[in-house]
Structure 1
Amino acid sequence: MDHQQSPAPGSLSWRLSSHPITLLTFLAFRSSSLLVYLFGLLFTENLVLIFIITILLLAGDFYYLKNIAGRRLVGLRWWNEVDPSSGDSKWVFESSEPGTKVVNPTDSRFFWLASYVQPLLWIALAILALVRFMFIWLPLVAIALALTITNSLAFSRCDKFSQASNIAGGAFSASGMAGNIASGMVGRFFNRG
């Protein structure tokens, strides 16, 4: 008898995902821009077409990661707000309430691995373009780096913000509980008289 072992929780198997369609779409967007950039010349000689398709895929990846995959896979979201009076820009971070969303370890591993590996791959492609003197590809790689690094940095900060908020929330609820216990003990002491 042939028994298939199920993958361990947190392993890189999309079958363990809580949101497999979101995860597969996320991975498709993450890989498609790289694949078009790397193999586009095999199908067409038109550099402009490859450039445009890659930019559109990068924009779709940026939007999907920022607004859908981040929220569904790891419970994080970020956006940029501009103060109309001063013109100052600030990033706003949002995370799911502690206890309301349990993040699947598989989703989390895929999300963070893909978020950090893609900018590294684009950096390697930038170095390769420089070494091969293919300067025509550098603007595309620069745009790819700007988009992927922005998302990676924003989600890293959002995750740190979420962890700090959870710790602070736990401390406040613990101090609230400690305050209730202390006031209850003091109240009993004065009521005994």
Structure 2
Amino acid sequence: MLRQDSNDETEDVSLFDAEDEGTRAAKKKKIRHPIASFFHLFFRISAVLVYMLSGFSSSFIACMVTIILLLSCDFWVVKNITGRLMVGLRWWNQVDDDGKSHWVYESRKAAQGKKSNSEAESRIFWLGLISCPIIWVIFAFSSLLSFNLKWLAVVIMGVTLQGANLYGYIKCKVGSRKNLGSIATNYFGTQFLRQTFSRENPAES
């Protein structure tokens, strides 16, 4: 009876461990911020659709104003909200006491016991962040080739605003990796110095 009880206990532990792994995997795949994920794609996709459908409209000014408003809303939302919530990244500009402007790129550190970023949200974020600027670059080349210069200013604004967010978040991502690399090099450097000094000390004695 005692052996059977111990076997039951081990089976219970393995079952609970399997449930924990399953719940962790589900949390990674689950979209934790559905509203942020929706608006991360809504404004930029809407701007692209309005531009593509502008040929069916007789009012150039109305389409231009609508696209500029959508691009401006997209820039603000992605820069200030969705990047922080969906992938834990943010960037901004600050002015110091001397009046000098500095760009700051931050990456949220995953502390022990805290949930990591959702993989589904991360894919949505980077897919929308990378694909839409590429589309606006294609629009820019098509406007130049077709000599459609009246839309060129709108297209350049789309490339600039969405390209700025893409550049800022890439700097955040790459900057966090550089910090980890510098920490690793400093660690190995100190270890190497300790080993060399430990070897030299016995020889002197």
* Residue identity opposite 1:49 in structure 2: A
After alignment, is 98-107 or 130-139 more displaced?
98-107
Aligned residue for 2:72?
A: 59
* Residue identity opposite 1:75 in structure 2: G
Aligned residue for 1:160?
A: 174
- CA separation of 1:101 and 1:167: change in aligned 2, threshold 3 A: farther
* Residue identity opposite 2:171 in structure 1: R
* Residue identity opposite 1:45 in structure 2: S
Q: Deviations over 1:63-121 (max 9, x none)?
A: 000000000000001001234635x4321012222224511111111111111111110
Aligned residue for 2:37?
A: 23
After TM superposition, the score normalised by the length of structure 2 is 0.70
Runs of 4+ in 1 over 6 A off after TM superposition: 169-175
Aligned residue for 1:92?
A: 104
Aligned residue for 1:144?
A: 158
SS at match of 2:144: helix
Q: Identity over the aligned pairs, expressed in percent? A: 33
- CA separation of 1:20 and 1:169: change in aligned 2, threshold 3 A: farther
* Residue identity opposite 2:84 in structure 1: R
Distance 1:45 1:72 in 2: 39
Aligned residue for 1:82?
A: 95
1:150 to partner: Cα distance: 0.6
After alignment, is 17-26 or 166-175 more displaced?
166-175
SS at match of 2:121: helix
- CA separation of 1:174 and 1:74: change in aligned 2, threshold 3 A: farther
Task: Say what the alpha-carbon RMSD is for the aligned residues.
Answer: 2.8
Equivalent positions of 1:1-193 (< 5 A) are 16-42=30-56, 44-83=57-96, 85-86=98-99, 88-99=100-111, 100-166=114-180
Q: Which runs of 5+ in 2 are unaligned?
A: 1-24, 192-205
Q: Which runs of 5+ in 1 are unaligned?
A: 1-8, 179-193
- CA separation of 1:149 and 1:91: change in aligned 2, threshold 3 A: same
Q: Structure 1 or 2: larger helix share?
A: 2
After alignment, is 113-122 or 95-104 more displaced?
95-104
* Residue identity opposite 1:23 in structure 2: S
Q: Tell me if structure 2 keeps the 8 A contact 1:75–1:101.
A: no
- CA separation of 1:166 and 1:19: change in aligned 2, threshold 3 A: farther
1:174 to partner: Cα distance: 11
1:127 to partner: Cα distance: 1.0
Distance 2:85 2:186 in 1: 27
Larger radius of gyration: 2
Distance 2:172 2:48 in 1: 26
